[in-house]
Amino acid sequence: MILYINCCVRAESRTDRLARAVLQKLGGDYTELKLYKEKLSPLDSKTLNKRTELIEQGDYSDRMFDPAKQFANADTIVIAAPYWDLSFPAPLKTYIENIYVTGIVSAYDENGLPVGLCKTNELYYVTTAGGPYDPTYSYGYIESLAKNFFGIPVTHLIKAEMLDIAGNDPEALLNSEINNLL
Protein backbone atom coordinates (compact mmCIF):
# COMPACT_ATOMS: atom_id res chain seq x y z
CA MET A 1 0.00 0.00 0.00
CA ILE A 2 1.21 3.48 -0.89
CA LEU A 3 0.44 6.17 1.68
CA TYR A 4 0.29 9.72 0.32
CA ILE A 5 0.67 12.27 3.10
CA ASN A 6 -0.51 15.51 1.53
CA CYS A 7 0.46 18.63 3.47
CA CYS A 8 -0.49 21.06 0.68
CA VAL A 9 -3.11 23.64 1.60
CA ARG A 10 -3.58 25.28 -1.80
CA ALA A 11 -5.87 23.69 -4.37
CA GLU A 12 -3.39 24.66 -7.10
CA SER A 13 -0.35 23.47 -5.12
CA ARG A 14 2.80 22.99 -7.15
CA THR A 15 4.06 20.54 -4.53
CA ASP A 16 0.93 18.42 -4.93
CA ARG A 17 1.37 18.42 -8.72
CA LEU A 18 4.93 17.18 -8.34
CA ALA A 19 3.88 14.56 -5.79
CA ARG A 20 1.14 13.26 -8.07
CA ALA A 21 3.78 12.75 -10.76
CA VAL A 22 5.72 10.65 -8.25
CA LEU A 23 2.55 8.68 -7.48
CA GLN A 24 1.95 8.17 -11.20
CA LYS A 25 5.49 6.86 -11.63
CA LEU A 26 5.05 4.50 -8.69
CA GLY A 27 1.76 3.23 -10.15
CA GLY A 28 -0.94 1.43 -8.26
CA ASP A 29 -3.50 2.56 -5.77
CA TYR A 30 -2.73 4.84 -2.88
CA THR A 31 -4.38 6.12 0.25
CA GLU A 32 -4.29 9.90 0.60
CA LEU A 33 -4.21 11.74 3.91
CA LYS A 34 -4.93 15.44 3.53
CA LEU A 35 -3.30 16.73 6.69
CA TYR A 36 -5.18 20.03 6.61
CA LYS A 37 -8.44 18.10 6.83
CA GLU A 38 -7.36 15.54 9.41
CA LYS A 39 -8.38 16.19 13.00
CA LEU A 40 -4.90 15.85 14.47
CA SER A 41 -3.85 18.12 17.30
CA PRO A 42 -0.50 18.64 18.97
CA LEU A 43 -0.17 16.44 22.02
CA ASP A 44 -1.34 18.15 25.17
CA SER A 45 -0.94 16.98 28.76
CA LYS A 46 -4.17 14.97 28.81
CA THR A 47 -3.56 13.23 25.48
CA LEU A 48 0.10 12.56 26.22
CA ASN A 49 -0.73 11.02 29.61
CA LYS A 50 -3.42 8.82 28.07
CA ARG A 51 -1.09 7.73 25.26
CA THR A 52 1.75 6.96 27.70
CA GLU A 53 -0.55 4.92 29.93
CA LEU A 54 -1.86 2.87 26.99
CA ILE A 55 1.64 2.26 25.61
CA GLU A 56 2.84 1.11 29.05
CA GLN A 57 -0.09 -1.34 29.11
CA GLY A 58 0.72 -2.53 25.58
CA ASP A 59 -2.80 -1.50 24.54
CA TYR A 60 -2.77 -0.04 21.03
CA SER A 61 -6.51 -0.49 20.41
CA ASP A 62 -7.44 3.18 20.91
CA ARG A 63 -8.21 5.13 17.71
CA MET A 64 -5.43 7.58 18.59
CA PHE A 65 -2.98 4.92 17.36
CA ASP A 66 -4.64 4.44 13.94
CA PRO A 67 -2.43 7.00 12.11
CA ALA A 68 0.72 5.35 13.51
CA LYS A 69 -0.48 1.88 12.45
CA GLN A 70 -1.32 3.15 8.97
CA PHE A 71 2.13 4.77 8.65
CA ALA A 72 3.97 1.69 9.97
CA ASN A 73 2.12 -0.67 7.62
CA ALA A 74 2.58 1.29 4.39
CA ASP A 75 4.87 -0.26 1.79
CA THR A 76 5.79 3.12 0.33
CA ILE A 77 5.25 6.61 1.71
CA VAL A 78 5.04 9.84 -0.29
CA ILE A 79 5.09 13.07 1.71
CA ALA A 80 4.18 16.30 -0.10
CA ALA A 81 5.12 19.40 1.88
CA PRO A 82 5.88 22.83 0.45
CA TYR A 83 9.02 24.57 1.68
CA TRP A 84 7.75 27.21 4.09
CA ASP A 85 9.90 29.35 6.33
CA LEU A 86 12.93 27.06 5.90
CA SER A 87 10.98 23.94 6.84
CA PHE A 88 7.55 22.40 6.23
CA PRO A 89 4.04 23.42 7.34
CA ALA A 90 3.09 22.78 10.99
CA PRO A 91 0.48 20.07 10.24
CA LEU A 92 3.31 17.75 9.17
CA LYS A 93 5.05 18.19 12.53
CA THR A 94 1.74 17.55 14.30
CA TYR A 95 1.28 14.39 12.22
CA ILE A 96 4.79 13.17 13.10
CA GLU A 97 4.10 13.87 16.78
CA ASN A 98 0.96 11.74 16.55
CA ILE A 99 2.49 8.79 14.67
CA TYR A 100 5.72 8.54 16.64
CA VAL A 101 4.47 5.77 18.92
CA THR A 102 6.89 3.42 20.64
CA GLY A 103 5.73 -0.10 19.93
CA ILE A 104 4.22 0.77 16.54
CA VAL A 105 6.73 2.77 14.48
CA SER A 106 9.78 2.22 16.66
CA ALA A 107 11.11 0.49 19.75
CA TYR A 108 14.28 0.68 21.78
CA ASP A 109 16.80 -2.12 22.17
CA GLU A 110 18.51 -3.19 25.39
CA ASN A 111 21.09 -0.41 24.90
CA GLY A 112 18.42 2.27 24.52
CA LEU A 113 19.02 2.61 20.79
CA PRO A 114 16.05 3.06 18.44
CA VAL A 115 14.90 0.17 16.29
CA GLY A 116 12.50 0.93 13.44
CA LEU A 117 9.34 -1.14 13.19
CA CYS A 118 7.90 0.24 9.95
CA LYS A 119 7.56 -2.20 7.06
CA THR A 120 8.01 0.66 4.60
CA ASN A 121 10.68 0.14 1.95
CA GLU A 122 10.89 3.67 0.55
CA LEU A 123 9.89 7.17 1.49
CA TYR A 124 9.63 10.03 -1.03
CA TYR A 125 9.77 13.57 0.27
CA VAL A 126 8.36 15.98 -2.32
CA THR A 127 8.68 19.74 -2.03
CA THR A 128 8.72 22.95 -4.02
CA ALA A 129 10.38 26.23 -3.13
CA GLY A 130 10.04 29.76 -4.45
CA GLY A 131 13.76 30.34 -3.91
CA PRO A 132 16.75 28.11 -3.24
CA TYR A 133 15.95 24.97 -1.27
CA ASP A 134 17.92 24.00 1.85
CA PRO A 135 16.97 20.48 3.01
CA THR A 136 18.43 20.84 6.52
CA TYR A 137 15.20 21.38 8.48
CA SER A 138 12.74 19.65 6.22
CA TYR A 139 13.94 16.67 4.20
CA GLY A 140 16.99 16.26 6.45
CA TYR A 141 14.74 15.90 9.48
CA ILE A 142 12.36 13.47 7.75
CA GLU A 143 15.27 11.44 6.34
CA SER A 144 16.85 11.12 9.79
CA LEU A 145 13.58 9.99 11.37
CA ALA A 146 12.93 7.52 8.55
CA LYS A 147 16.34 5.87 8.59
CA ASN A 148 17.31 6.13 12.25
CA PHE A 149 14.00 5.71 14.07
CA PHE A 150 11.36 4.26 11.75
CA GLY A 151 13.52 1.66 9.97
CA ILE A 152 12.80 2.96 6.47
CA PRO A 153 15.99 2.13 4.54
CA VAL A 154 15.59 4.28 1.43
CA THR A 155 14.50 7.91 1.16
CA HIS A 156 14.28 10.17 -1.88
CA LEU A 157 14.15 13.94 -2.17
CA ILE A 158 12.09 15.18 -5.12
CA LYS A 159 12.12 18.96 -5.45
CA ALA A 160 11.52 21.91 -7.71
CA GLU A 161 13.12 25.14 -6.56
CA MET A 162 13.65 28.75 -7.62
CA LEU A 163 10.04 28.88 -8.81
CA ASP A 164 9.36 32.47 -7.71
CA ILE A 165 12.62 34.11 -8.71
CA ALA A 166 12.10 37.07 -11.07
CA GLY A 167 12.87 36.05 -14.62
CA ASN A 168 12.32 32.31 -14.02
CA ASP A 169 9.45 30.47 -15.64
CA PRO A 170 7.87 28.52 -12.76
CA GLU A 171 5.75 26.33 -15.06
CA ALA A 172 8.78 25.38 -17.13
CA LEU A 173 10.83 24.58 -14.01
CA LEU A 174 8.06 22.50 -12.45
CA ASN A 175 7.27 20.70 -15.71
CA SER A 176 10.96 19.90 -16.17
CA GLU A 177 11.02 18.14 -12.78
CA ILE A 178 7.76 16.33 -13.57
CA ASN A 179 9.09 15.19 -16.95
CA ASN A 180 12.27 13.92 -15.30
CA LEU A 181 10.09 11.62 -13.20
CA LEU A 182 7.99 10.23 -16.03
Q: What is the pLDDT of residues 45-79, one digit of tens each?
A: 999 999 999 999 999 999 999 999 999 999 999 99
Q: Supply the CATH number for residue 69's domain.
A: 3.40.50.360
Q: How many residues does the chain have?
A: 182
pLDDT at 6 (0 to 100): 98
- Residue 182 confidence (pLDDT) above 80: no
Beta-strand pair 76-80/106-108: unpaired
The reported pTM is 0.96
Q: How many domains does the chain have?
A: 1
Instruction: Find the domain containing 109 and state its range.
Output: 2-181
CA 128-116-79 angle, to 5 degrees, is: 15
pLDDT at 13 (0 to 100): 97
Tens of pLDDT, residue by residue over 39-53, are 899 999 999 999 999
